[in-house]
Amino acid sequence: MLARYALAAGAALCLSVMPLLADPLPSWRDTEAKARIVAFVESVTDPASDQYVTPPDRIAVFDNDGTLWAEKPFYFQLLYAIDRVREKAEADPSILNSDALKAAANGDVEGLLAHGKEGLLEVLAVSHSGVSVDAFQADVRDWLESTRHPTTGMAYNEMLYQPMLELLAYLRDEDFSTWIVSGGGVHFIRAFAAEAYGIPPHQVVGSVGPADYEANGAPAILKEPGIFFINDKAGKPLAIDSRIGKRPIFAAGNSDGDFQMLEWTTAGDGPRFGMIVHHTDGAREFAYDRESPVGKLVRGLDEGPDRGWLIVDMAEDWGRVWPVSP
């Protein structure tokens, strides 16, 4: 009996010390949110658990704007597009041939949005087309390096959520594949996703514009005006099916544009996890939900808890927000 007691004491010592040494989510406070995430991951990765999921089926999908990085005052891709319209108009004012483009060049985002989808397509046509994919992504990286956010003064690609970076790494350490499933443009996100999130290009699923394959001279993929596929709302489960070909077991989002992705993910058999990042932290980040023009969150708040989805309270559940102090 003495030997067994000694063994038990040793095991208890290990159990109490190990988590402190190897907390995979140090920027998450010790609230229910963190406990639920860890309990889920531990159950689906434990071969002895009836909740065990084999690694190829450990698919985790993440919205990007407002889930992995910030989206205020407006989607960063839109701020990029507006910057580029303004720059091009300085060189050639004749390109401002619509009220939407004039609003964009004046930095009047609300005025631009008043023109709806048509206005946005005009801005995208000027800023996102007539260029090769390679040149476009180089330009996006230039912009990310040289531009600063209007209120935080941080580079846009510093405005990543440290707790979500830790969650991505934790899941990958546990043999999940991590995917971005975003309404943002796939070429835009890929320009920084590998460096920012450790997510390779093929695991970025986004909205897609038309493109043309040009083989006179050195072959190139050229971005064209218009929109081919909008990866939002019901488009997200459709893109997951078309691109990943399996139903995820873990999905995280922050707005009602993610509702169907979480619904599709969590309606599957076996263990499932749905998470909504709720922007409650006006002091460290931004506080918004039901009334916001970006990241509008109504149905997720109303129905999410009853569906078993975790509503992450940024102010309460996150010990820090940014990777680097602003």
Distance of CA 82 to the CA centre of its chain: 21
Long-range contacts of 139-142 (CB under 8 A, 24+ apart): 139/84, 140/80, 140/187, 140/188, 140/191, 140/192, 141/191, 141/192
Residue whose CB is nearest to Ca ion in the complex, by number: 66
Cβ–Cβ under 8 Å, residues 281 and 315: yes
Among 122, 132, 35, residue whose Cα is nearest residue 84: 122
Find the shortest distance in angstroms from Cβ 246 to its own copies: 6
Among 90, 219, 283, 291, binds its own copies (CB under 8 A): 219
Q: Return the SS3 of 166.
A: helix
Q: Is residue 198 a contact point for its own copies (CB under 8 A)?
A: no
Half-sphere exposure of residue 282, counting CA atoms within 13 Å on the CB side?
A: 3
Among 44, 57, 62, residue whose Cα is nearest residue 203: 62
Could you tell which of its own copies, Ca ion, none binds residue 133, using a CB distance below 5 to 8 A set by kind?
its own copies
C-beta of 93 vs 201, nearer to its own copies: 201
Alpha-carbon gap, residue 90 to 84, rounded angstroms: 10
Find the shortest distance in angstroms from Cβ 169 to its own copies: 17
Q: Which stretch binds its own copies (CB under 8 A): 4-12, 14-22, 194-202, 279-287?
A: 194-202
Q: Is residue 221 a contact point for its own copies (CB under 8 A)?
A: yes
C-beta of 56 vs 153, nearer to its own copies: 56
Find the shortest distance in angstroms from Cβ 231 to its own copies: 11
Among 30, 241, 302, 316, binds its own copies (CB under 8 A): 241
Write out the residues near its own copies by the rule CB under 8 A: 56, 133, 186, 190, 200-202, 204, 208, 211-213, 215, 218-219, 221, 234, 237-238, 241-246, 260, 263-264, 267
